[in-house]
Amino acid sequence: ELKVEQNPLFLSMQEGKNYTIYCNYSTTSDRLYWYRQDPGKSLESLFVLLSNGAVKQEGRLMASLDTKARLSTLHITAAVHDLSATYFCAAEKLVFGKGTKLTVNP
């Protein structure tokens, strides 16, 4: 049974700082997805990582995938308040982590 674990579950950081969110999964998976959810809203697709070593970047966010370590990371560079949201990873599309609630403080 595929399990997906994210950490941390809560992250409070200051603007301008860097941080990484980790997503571990329990069985072989070649596909990893990252989503963003604003409070009270739906989920929005951020990144689709389809192979080992895949790296994708959009603005201050960069996602990577290491299928051998069963690990994906979402790196935040020089955080800004607009990045405050909950971030989910999902393996094989169907199994989601519990989410990381990110709060960026001025």
DSSP state of 30: S
In sequence order, the 6+-apart residues with CB closer than 8 A to the CB of 27 are 1, 2, 3, 70
Residue closer to another protein by CB (options 17, 41) is 41
Residue closer to another protein by CB (options 3, 81) is 3
Q: How far is the CB of 53 from another protein (least distance, A)?
A: 17
Cα R_g (the chain), whole angstroms: 13
Q: Which residues contact another protein (rule: CB under 8 A)? A: 31, 33, 35, 41-45, 48, 50, 88, 90, 92-99
